Structure 1
Amino acid sequence: MAAEPHKPSILTFPPRPEWGSAAHRRAVGEYVRKCREHAGVSRVAAANHIRTSPATYGRLEKGMAPLRQRDIDDLALLYGVHDAAELRRVSELVAEAARPAPWQQYSDMVVSWFRPLLSLEPAAELIHSYEPQLVPGWLQTEEYAQIVTRAGHPLASQAWVDRRCALRKGRFDMFRRAVDPPALLAIMDETVLNRPVGSPGVMFRQIHHLLKLLEQYPYELNLQIAPLSMGAIGAVGHAIVHLRFRHSLLPDAVYLEQCESASYTEYESETKGHQARLVNLSMTAAGEEQTRELLLEALEKYR
């Protein structure tokens, strides 16, 4: 039975384990919010209905709280959702939302401000990023990642560093997916090629790795070099990651990283501004052929 006209529907959001539990939790929360607004129910009334606080209910709608099937069933009844297909699909998504994410085996070393990016990037259609200091984490070699991690955590044990690098390496798996892998458009500042991380051999192998990845994944990966000649346009002092998702129930998000913290926002007024900045960088940065030439030049420098 089709959804009633003008009523919110979640039927177009399929259960996709590879997208991760956070994406399903976020989709259900957004659907619940739309249903509540369509039914004209206040957040306070909704919270009271499932015997929780308005703050906790607000976290449920934002996809930041665990989902309980009993609560979702009670809210569906309150909001007048009776369509069997809708209820069945919500139950499927709630089940997916309960699955542990791959990164959770490293939860003891993942700071809270990094978790939203780790949780939601597998569901992205496009990951658009800018990195002013280092090779983007998804594209780092093991030895490059080891040196970068050790530099940031000089007192950590080698076992801790190894696990941290394993987490970083595992993030690349989403680009190898057979079905709907994210596309990565990464912009890297030119100074990254001139900043030695480890020995010349480490840099040589890292740059060679970038060239091989671009050959192996021509549809999933695109790398641009932002030259110093860009001037003020390239004067962005922090990393930016913009996530665009495949479904309207998942709004665009932006992750901004500083030295010891980061922020993650889904507010359209903020995401559009950062997206425009990334577009400006892409339009001015080196294109595919020029980027390859710059990488080859750097490869010879470290040979």
Structure 2
Amino acid sequence: MDSPTVLRRRLGSELRRLRERTGLQAKAAADALRFSATKISRIESGQTTLKESDVRALLELYGVTDEAELRQFISLTRRSTQRGWWHDYGDALPDWFQTYVGMESDAARIRAYEIELVPGLLQTADYARAIFRISPSAPSSDEIERRVKLRIQRQEIFHRADPPIVRTILNEAVLRRPIGGPHVMREQVLHLIELVERYEVTIQVLPFSTGAHASMNTAFHILSFADVPGDVVYVEALTSSLFMERESDIAHHELAFARLSESAMNPQDSLSWMQKLATEGYGRVN
């Protein structure tokens, strides 16, 4: 079942298609309905929950009169307002990250480049716990456990009937930095190896020896969907995130990802490197 986040994106994409078919600019549509231009932008990018009354007004403006088509739009609107499973963790999940989790839960393909840490989707509970413990927000023990539970539940997408294809490029520093100590890191690397062997997960390690590369200061994710046009680039900061959907932004990040992939060890060499690291790279573990 599609998540509400992806349904909003699909609905927004369809409304944008209808607007463009009528030849209306976004500002003209906003003025006609006394909406703000920002509201139209957020509706079309799927960044806001739509009211049924707003959708009906937009459809009327765009000349949609076919009853069957109207019913489809209203049904999609109602489904898009339902709560996703992640809303149960609302107090431990910033609003801006809820959007990402919703997209991730329905993504057909996820491409990620990380500079400093293992992507949340691939983390073990102990690794995630070690990350949360040093958070500047100083979460309580109970809150940390709720965040860890959410992070692990996100990994249920690997058990979907149609699990996503995940391609991840990790800076060597990600696997060298002893987060949580040697035992936690060894278990984390073994977990990555298991994911590669069991699922549609590919990991490439970008070694220090590469030197300068295509994304020196920015980690990013590119999410693609089976039945929603357009990819989304996600970039996260400490207290907010950025979603980019312009074709030029997507193309720029896809090119960076391709160049990073060329600079990194190939998947098989990366797997061998991680296996050796898990065996020898963290010293003696009690």
- 2:177 is aligned with 1:195: yes
| Structure 2 Cα separation of the partners of residues 168 and 203 of structure 1 | 17
- 2:99 is aligned with 1:120: no
- 2:221 is aligned with 1:241: yes
Change (3 A) 1:95 1:181: farther
- Contact 2:108–2:165, Cα closer than 8 Å, also in 1: yes
- Contact 1:23–1:250, Cα closer than 8 Å, also in 2: no
* Structure 1 segments (4+ residues) deviating >6 Å: none
| Matched ranges for 1:146-157 at <5 A | 146-153=129-136, 155-157=138-140
| Equivalent position to 2:203, from 208, 215, 223 | 223
**Identity rate, percent:** 35
Name the counterpart of 2:269: 290
| Equivalent position to 2:122, from 139, 146, 154 | 139
Change (3 A) 1:37 1:145: same
Larger CA deviation: 196-205 vs 104-113: 104-113
Change (3 A) 1:226 1:75: same
Name the counterpart of 2:243: 264
The alignment yields a C-alpha RMSD, in angstroms, of: 2.2
| Matched ranges for 1:52-91 at <5 A | 52-91=35-74
| Structure 1 Cα separation of the partners of residues 238 and 201 of structure 2 | 26
| Structure 1 Cα separation of the partners of residues 114 and 144 of structure 2 | 22
Larger CA deviation: 62-71 vs 128-137: 62-71
| Structure 2 Cα separation of the partners of residues 184 and 191 of structure 1 | 20
**Deviation (angstroms), 1:109:** 2.8
**Deviation (angstroms), 1:295:** 0.9
| Structure 1 Cα separation of the partners of residues 198 and 111 of structure 2 | 19
**Deviation (angstroms), 1:74:** 3.3
Query: In structure 2, what residue type is equivalent to 1:28?
Result: L
**Deviation (angstroms), 1:36:** 1.9
Name the counterpart of 1:40: 23
| Structure 2 Cα separation of the partners of residues 225 and 276 of structure 1 | 18
- 2:83 is aligned with 1:111: no
Q: With the length of structure 2 as denominator, give the TM-score of the two structures.
A: 0.89
| Equivalent position SS for 1:130 | strand
- Contact 2:234–2:242, Cα closer than 8 Å, also in 1: yes
| Equivalent position SS for 1:233 | coil
Query: In structure 2, what residue type is equivalent to 1:104?
Result: H
Output one character per residue of 1:124-165: Cα deviation in whole Å (capped at 9) or x when no partner.
221100111112211111111100111124722100111111
Q: How many residues align?
A: 282
- Contact 2:195–2:201, Cα closer than 8 Å, also in 1: yes
**Deviation (angstroms), 1:221:** 1.1
Output one character per residue of 1:211-261: Cα deviation in whole Å (capped at 9) or x when no partner.
1222221xx2111111112221166233210112223x4421111223444
- Contact 2:215–2:256, Cα closer than 8 Å, also in 1: no
| Equivalent position SS for 1:197 | coil
| Equivalent position SS for 1:152 | coil
**Deviation (angstroms), 1:92:** 2.7
| Equivalent position to 2:166, from 184, 187, 190 | 184
Structure 1, unpaired ranges of 5+: 1-16
| Structure 2 Cα separation of the partners of residues 114 and 89 of structure 1 | 29
Name the counterpart of 1:7: none
Query: In structure 1, what residue type is equivalent to 2:175?
Result: L
- Contact 2:110–2:222, Cα closer than 8 Å, also in 1: yes
| Structure 1 Cα separation of the partners of residues 246 and 24 of structure 2 | 23
**Deviation (angstroms), 1:51:** 5.7
**Deviation (angstroms), 1:65:** 2.5
